[in-house]
Structures are given as C-alpha cells and as structure tokens.
C-alpha cells in the first residue's frame, strides 16, 4: 500500500475555496472599523474626554490641543467628544431603519416568492408604486406631518427602503424556492412557514446581509442630510449631520474643524458599510 | 384479499397552455400497488412519469381521478398541516437529482434528525440513536453523516435522501429516476441497497424509470406509459422479455442487450 495516494490529504475544492474566502483583509478591515464605531457609540460616556454639550465661550474655535485633540466648535464644545457621542444617534437611526426595512422587506419577499401568482403580482405593483417616491421626499413629508426628530424620518425611510430590499430578496427567494430541496421539505410534510424559516431564510441570509449593509450606508447619508436640513435630530443633540450644519458658519471664519470631522465620520462609516456589502457580494458570488 | 396500499383510479393531469387546449401529461391512469410490492412506471422522456409521481406525493393537484393511500383518500394535496404530515408519513419520494434535493446548509445527520423531529416526539437520545441506525442502514459512515452535501458524492447524497425518506418508516417509497444521474457502479450499489431495504422493511416501491435494466432489477410488475396513457401492463419479466405493445417493443429494442455490439464508425486515418 506504499504507493497509494494519500486521499485524505487531497483538499476538496470546497475547502480550498473556503480557505480563500477566509482571507479577505478588506472584509476584516470593514468589520473592525464597524465594530470600533459601535463600541465608540456604546461606550461614549466612558471614552469621551469632555461633556459633549458643555460649552465654553471663552474657548470657542480652538485648534487642536492636548485637552481638545480635534479642537472646539463655535460655542467651545469639544469636537471629539461630540463626534463620539454623536455616533449614538447617528448609528441608531440607520440601525432602526435597516432592521425595520429588512424584516419587512424579507417578509414581503418570502411571501411573494412562496405564493407566486396573484399575490406576487399585487405585491409587485404595490412595491412599484412605493418605488416612485424617493426616500427623502417621503421623509420630508413625514416630518411635515409628525414633526422633526428621529422617529418620523426613521419610519419614513424604513418604508422607503423596504421595496428595494424586498425586490432583491424576492428574486433570490424565487430562485431558491425552485430548488428541489424545497419540494423535498414539502413531501416531508413541513408547513410553508417552517420551510421559509428553517430552510429558505438561512440560505438567503448572505443576500440579506448585503442588502442590510448597503441600506445602512444609504440610511446614514439620508438621515444625516435630514438633520443637516434641520428636519431630523434637533440641536443641541450631538449628531453628525447636525454637526456639519452647525459648523457651517464657522467654516467661513476659517474654522472648518467641526463640520469637517463630522463629515469625515459620516464618510468613513458609509464607506465601511458599502465596502462590507461589496466584499459580502464577492463572497456569496464565489 | 388485503387492500392495496396505493390505489389510483382514472388519474388525469392537464397543464394549461395559453391559447391552446391543455397539455394532457397524465391521461386516465389507474393502478394498484399491493403491500410489499415494487411497481415500475416505464416510459420515455415526457411520457408523464414524473407528473404521476408528483401527484402521488401531493406536489401536484390532479385534474381528475382518485388517489387512495393506505385506505385514505389523498386525491388532492393536503391543505392542513396534519394532512400533510399524515401523507408524508405514508408516502415518500426520492428525487432524481441528489445534488439539489438536499438543503446545502444541512449536514446529513441534521437533515434526517429534522425529519424525525417533525413526525415523532422522540427524546434527543432516542432520536440520535435512530439517526445512527438510519445512517448505518443506508451505508453512511460517521464522517459522511456529519458532512454537508457539497462534501458528498452523488451516490452518498442519494443515500442521505433515501435515509431521509426512510426516517418516517413510509409504507410507499416513490423513486423518480433515483439512480439515473449516478454512474453505473454506484447505480448498482444503490439498487442493491434498495433491494435490501425492501427485504428488511415493510415497504412498497414505485420505481419511475426509463431504464429497463433498473426496472428489471428492483420491480415485480409495472406498466408502460406513452403520452400520459398506460399502453401495456404486466409482470416486469413479461414486459421486458415479451413486450406486446409496439411502443414497449420499441423501448425494448433501443436498449443494448446481450449480443449487442457497438458499431464503430470507420474513420479514415491519415498520417
Ligand atoms: N409544471 C408543468 N407545466 C406545464 N407542463 C408540464 C409541467 N410539468 C410537466 N409538464 C409537461 O408534461 C409532460 C410530462 O412531463 P413529465 O415530467 O411528467 O415527463 P417524464 O415522463 O417524467 O419525463 P422524463 O423522463 O424526461 O423525466 C411533458 O410534456 C412536460 O412538458
Ligand atoms: Mg421525469
């Protein structure tokens, strides 16, 4: 038997691919950045060097110093502390939008993919109508009706994002539903609900993750824009979009720090989520 | 006279075709399957075999006719959960394609365990013991039982599918071209496995196939379908060795038998 091939040693193609998949420094980088942002939001009171709302007119528009690493804004609040605390509202809003839109969108997708026929046709028409309203217009309408703050824009954007998620997941779900294993589950006697929950959904999770990541980036931009326009989070709450707007006047005086750093926080976060989505797409495509 | 485990009467399936009369895939098919018997459904591609099998397991609604399984009327797919489970416990299907009839995220063991959980209230220990028993019965070793479908060969996957179907101890197992996608030596293994299982368990088979060699190996009687109609029926031996209907004769002739040698085409060989 000395000449026998060591068959156990031969790596099956699946394993080789998984090994390749495991090494994705960009993906790992995105995950680290996002985890850091979330930690920053959670631990804000512990890590922020100053009270984000404590103003000190005498120390307004200061440059970078040991006490204020990113300087102070036009009323003397510590910019770094405001960025750190701002992560809370800035990330909470998109997170709520993503959870609501994803849960709703996936539910619609699974029901339409499962039932097909008339249910699918009617649902698709309703989604088409929703598509016709840009999310921001929706949100501005909601603010006009329910007032400024985080709640109205979050609800409006959840509804506005739902059709996008539903459409993408629906087409993946239709493909998945056509696989014979779904019929095998039916023959086994499983209920449609169980098949969707235990088999279809887990198999669709990679697609859901991608949609959630993409939506998070868009929701952050949209919510920041609304805050910037004065329709979202109100001053003096720390929120990145709000900070960009509040810092605007100081830009003309040659003190762009407040707006600049808040804008950078938005860009970095959006970039991390979009890159994450991109890497996840590649992973599922492999 | 014991009652047959499956009795099918004038079963018919029409698929709607836009702007034309419906396509009749199964046309007034009747048959009975006795307990412990193995029945072959023979016919070439498009003759309606799969449609018939799908109606039996409740994946397709018959246009007309009656299906009785284990004395119960199962003419339409069960609407309520209990009906579906009851049907599933009596009749199971092994699909043609072992590559896509298993959930790619589910290891073999979990697939079988899920089936047991669905139908029986076993304790975790009892369930695991039964999973081991089933894996052993179909010849899956420990590694294979824990492996995802993508790490298994076609034959191994089909063993998993058979174990999943056997988990409920069904009275009838429908095999829709269950070995057609496997290569010949694996086919023989799976056919032997199925023959062993029938010898051990109280189970009947409905073997759907266009492959007469397969039919000969694991069925006692059968019928031949052409364009959805039954054109001839009888014992497998008679059907294969003394076909009466021209269509059966044609099927028979198109199979290489003893004494058949491939005609090699003469090719001009030039240097
Ligand atoms: N869902 C469907 N809708 C419309 N026509 C269908 C459908 N399923 C099957 N048919 C048609 O019914 C006829 C019988 O198909 P069926 O799959 O039962 O044949 P088969 O004998 O199993 O063939 P094969 O050996 O190729 O599997 C075919 O003409 C097929 O095109
Ligand atoms: Mg078929």
Q: What is the pLDDT of residues A166-197, one digit of tens each?
A: 999 999 999 999 999 999 999 999 999 999 99
List CB-based neighbours of ion ligand 2 within 5 Å: B 50
Binary contact (B101, A186; C-beta < 8 A): no
Residue B198 and residue B2 in contact, taking contact as beta carbons nearer than 8 Å: no
- Complex confidence, ipTM: 0.88
For residue B8 the two structure tokens come to 């099918």
- Protein residue with its CA nearest to atom 11 in ligand 1: B25
Binary contact (B58, A202; C-beta < 8 A): no
Q: What is the pLDDT of residue A11?
A: 42
Q: What's phi and psi for B72, nearest 5 deg?
A: -105, 145
d(CA B60, CA B48): 12
User: Does B28 touch chain A if contact means CB atoms closer than 8 Å?
Assistant: no
Give the mutation candidate from A178, A187, A194, A199 for the B interface (greatest B CB count, under 10 A): A187
Ligand 2 centroid to residue B206 C-alpha, Å = 13
Q: What is the pLDDT of residue A5?
A: 39
For residue A206 the two structure tokens come to 């990679």
Which of B11, B14, B15, B247 best tests ligand 1's pocket when mutated (most atoms within 8 Å of CB)? B15
Q: Of the bound ligands, which one is closest to the alpha carbon of residue B224?
A: 1
For residue A52 the two structure tokens come to 């984000």
pLDDT tens-digit map of B248-266: 888 777 766 555 555 555 5
Using CA coordinates, name the residue in chain B closest to A195.
B103
Residue B57 and residue B174 in contact, taking contact as beta carbons nearer than 8 Å: yes
Ligand 1 centroid to residue A178 C-alpha, Å = 16
CATH of B1-90+173-181+203-255, one of 3.40.50.620, 3.30.470.30, 2.60.40.1220, 3.40.50.300: 3.40.50.300
Of residues B88, B97, B102, nearest to A189 (C-beta): B88
d(CA B39, CA A76): 88
Q: What is the pLDDT of residue A228?
A: 86
Higher pLDDT, A168 or A16: A168
d(CA B251, CA B240): 9
pLDDT tens-digit map of B139-155: 899 999 999 999 999 88
Count Cα atoms within 13 angstroms, Cβ side, for A47.
17
Binary contact (A187, B93; C-beta < 8 A): yes
Q: Which residues are CB-neighbours of B155 under 8 A, at least 6 positions away?
A: B98, B182, B186, B189, B190
Q: Which residues are CB-neighbours of B75 under 8 A, at least 6 positions away?
A: B62, B65, B66, B67
CA atoms B226, B232, B237, B241: torsion sign: negative
Higher pLDDT, A21 or A164: A164
pLDDT tens-digit map of B183-197: 888 888 889 999 999
User: How many Å lie between the alpha carbon of A165 and the closest alpha carbon of chain B?
Assistant: 23
Atom of ligand 1 nearest to the CA of B225: 21
- Protein residue with its CA nearest to atom 12 in ligand 1: B25
Top CATH class, A72-284:
mainly alpha
- Protein residue with its CA nearest to atom 2 in ligand 1: B15
Q: What DSSP element (H or E) covers A193?
A: helix A192-195
Length of chain A: 286
Ligand 1 centroid to residue B51 C-alpha, Å = 6
B49 in ligand 1 pocket by Cβ < 6 Å?
yes
Atom of ligand 1 nearest to the CA of B54: 18
Which of B16, B45, B46 best tests ligand 1's pocket when mutated (most atoms within 8 Å of CB)? B46
pLDDT band at B129 (very low <50, low <70, confident <90, very high): very high
Q: Nearest CA to B39 among B58, B52, B21?
A: B52
Q: What is the pLDDT of residue A144?
A: 84
DSSP state of A199: I
Residues of chain B contacting residue A12, judged by C-beta atoms under 8 Å apart: 151
pLDDT tens-digit map of B37-47: 999 999 988 99
User: Does B117 touch chain A if contact means CB atoms closer than 8 Å?
Assistant: no
Ligand 1 centroid to residue B23 C-alpha, Å = 10
B185 in ligand 1 pocket by Cβ < 6 Å?
no
Q: What's phi and psi for A280, nearest 5 deg?
A: -65, -40
Average pLDDT of chain A, as a whole number: 85
Q: What is the pLDDT of residue A18?
A: 53
Residue A90: strand pairing partners: none
Domain boundaries, chain B: 1-90+173-181+203-255, 97-169
Binary contact (B87, A180; C-beta < 8 A): no
User: Within 10 Å of residue B68's Cβ, how many Cβ atoms?
Assistant: 17
d(CA B54, CA A186): 11
Residues of chain A contacting residue B164, judged by C-beta atoms under 8 Å apart: 184, 188
């Amino acid at each position: 038997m000395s000449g026998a091939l060591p068959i156990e040693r031969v790596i099956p193609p699946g394993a080789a691919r998984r090994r390749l998949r495991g090494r994705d420094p960009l993906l790992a980088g995105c995950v680290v950045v996002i985890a850091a942002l979330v930690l920053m939001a959670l631990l804000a009171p512990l890590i922020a060097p100053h009270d984000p709302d404590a103003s000190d007119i005498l120390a307004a528009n200061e440059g970078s110093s040991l006490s204020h690493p990113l300087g102070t804004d036009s009323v003397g609040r510590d910019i770094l502390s405001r960025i750190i605390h701002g992560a809370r509202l800035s990330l909470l809003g998109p997170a709520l939008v993503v959870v609501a839109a994803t849960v709703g969108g996936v539910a619609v997708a699974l029901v339409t993919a499962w039932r097909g026929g008339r249910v699918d046709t009617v649902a698709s028409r309703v989604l088409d109508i929703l598509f016709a309203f840009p999310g921001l217009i929706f949100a501005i309408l909601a603010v006009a009706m329910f007032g400024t703050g985080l709640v109205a824009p979050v609800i409006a954007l959840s509804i506005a994002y739902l059709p996008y998620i539903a459409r993408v997941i629906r087409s993946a779900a239709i493909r998945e539903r056509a696989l014979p294993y779904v019929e095998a589950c039916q023959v086994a006697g499983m209920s449609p609900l169980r098949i969707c929950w235990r088999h279809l959904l887990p198999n669709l999770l990679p697609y859901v993750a991608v949609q959630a990541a993409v939506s998070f980036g868009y929701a952050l931009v949209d919510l920041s824009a609304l805050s910037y326009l004065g329709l979202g989070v109100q001053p003096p709450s720390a929120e990145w979009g709000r900070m960009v707007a509040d810092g605007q006047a100081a830009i003309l005086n040659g003190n762009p720090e407040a707006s600049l750093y808040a804008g950078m926080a938005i860009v970095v976060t959006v970039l991390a989520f979009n890159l994450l989505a991109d890497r996840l797409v590649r992973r599922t495509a492999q | 006279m014991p009652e047959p485990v499956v009795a099918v009467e004038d079963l018919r399936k029409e698929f709607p075709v836009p702007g034309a009369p419906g396509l009749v895939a199964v046309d007034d098919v009747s048959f009975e399957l006795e307990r412990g018997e193995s029945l072959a459904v023979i016919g070439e591609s498009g003759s309606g075999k799969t449609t018939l099998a799908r109606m039996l397991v409740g994946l397709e609604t018959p246009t007309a006719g009656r299906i009785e399984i284990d004395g119960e009327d199962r003419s339409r797919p069960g609407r309520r959960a209990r009906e579906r489970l009851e049907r599933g416990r009596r009749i199971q299907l092994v699909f043609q394609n072992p590559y896509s009839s298993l959930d790619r995220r589910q290891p073999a063991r979990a697939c079988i365990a899920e089936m047991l959980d669905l139908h029986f209230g076993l304790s975790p220990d009892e369930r695991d013991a039964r999973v081991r028993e089933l894996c052993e019965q179909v010849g899956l070793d420990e590694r294979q039982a824990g492996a995802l479908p993508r790490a298994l060969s076609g034959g191994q996957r089909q063993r998993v599918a058979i174990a999943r179907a056997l988990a409920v101890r069904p009275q009838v197992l429908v095999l829709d071209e269950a070995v057609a996608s496997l290569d010949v030596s694996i086919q023989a293994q799976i056919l032997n496995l199925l023959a062993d299982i029938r010898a051990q368990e109280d189970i009947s088979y409905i073997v759907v196939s266009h492959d007469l060699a397969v039919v000969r190996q694991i069925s006692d009687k059968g019928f031949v379908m052409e364009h959805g109609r039954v054109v001839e029926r009888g014992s497998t031996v008679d059907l294969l060795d003394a076909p009466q209907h021209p269509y059966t004769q044609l099927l028979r002739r198109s199979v290489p038998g003893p004494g058949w040698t491939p005609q090699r085409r003469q090719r001009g060989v030039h240097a």
